[in-house]
Amino acid sequence: MKIALVTDSTSVLTDQEVKDNNINVVPIPVIVGDKEYLEGVNITSAELFEKQKQGAAFPKTSQPSMGQMIELCNKLHGEGYEAIIAITLSSGISGFYQNMVNMAHNNPEYNLYPYDSKMTVRLQGYLVLAAARMIKNGMEPEAILKKLDEIRKTIDEYFVVDDLKNLSRGGRLSNAGAFIGTMLQIKPLLTFNSDGKIVAFEKIRSLKRAVAKVKKLTLEKTAELPYKDKLRLFVFHSNDLKQAEDIKQFINTNFPDKPVDVAEFSPVIATHLGEKSIAIAWMIDIDKLDLTK
């Protein structure tokens, strides 16, 4: 079966990864004032924060238009693709996945399989890359989605934001009421829950202590994993490479034989988390998986 693979720009795949795996990446819009930018096309996270420092309006994010998605699916269908797998950012922070579900229902001719990553950035990206490998290995869509479910269950992430105002204003923190209005120096620890929503679960006084707690949680949680010998770890940051490099050193010291990716939050995600946000994440390393069945 000829299967097309679609994802959105929050997966932060490299140009080479996109080219080598024939992936269709749909850019997500970021709106600043009355101007619309496209993530991965004409705005970076650093440029976004610079605009805010210069007094620009609070940024907002949107979704790819249904017209754009229908045009893409028509194109792929016309090129002879018998099925389309679309892996989206978490439905807990965007309506893009539900739009794809509606499109699949209303356009059965596409044989469209929407898949909710329940995550974003490189965690979502590695799900896309795993799917690409399975497509190359001739697996059917149902088998691919079943394997993606198994991989997705291994993903976990803890992160800290320096300021809650972006998350609360954007409505992306599901239990914001319990944390808004506290002292400025209180930093919440956040994670994604099983529904793919961002939730805060603990308050820590000062960013330094919050990062230390995230490091501690990382050691505790990964020690219990049945696949700990196959871990891949991640450090994500919002315009704070110094902090990210410090955490990478912590990971290299405590996980000396494990791969670690360091990357910025994409502009869409940075819009909601704000500057100086930092995260540690992990998942099973897809390079150590059999993706042929």
Encode the chain (293 residues) as per-residue pLDDT tens digits. Answer: 999 999 999 999 999 999 999 999 999 888 888 888 888 788 778 787 788 777 777 778 888 889 999 999 999 999 999 999 999 999 988 899 999 999 999 999 999 999 999 999 999 999 999 999 999 999 999 999 999 999 999 999 999 988 766 666 655 555 444 455 454 567 888 898 888 888 888 888 888 999 999 999 999 999 999 999 999 999 999 988 999 999 999 999 999 999 999 999 988 888 888 888 899 999 999 999 999 98
- Rounded to whole angstroms, the Cα distance separating 100 from 2 reads 20
Q: Which DSSP letter does residue 236 get?
A: E
Q: Is 172 exposed, middle or buried (0-12, 13-18, 19+ CB in 10 A)?
A: buried
CA dihedral 56, 62, 67, 71 (to 10 degrees): 90
What is the value of pTM for the model shown? 0.92
CATH tag, 3-28+63-152: 3.40.50.10440
Structure tokens at 86: 């679309």
pLDDT score, position 255: 97
Whether CATH 3.40.50.300 fits 156-288: no
Boundaries of every domain in the chain:
3-28+63-152, 156-288
pLDDT reported for residue 181: 45
CB 155 within 8 A of CB 119: yes
pLDDT of 89: 95
CB atoms within 10 A of CB 256: 7
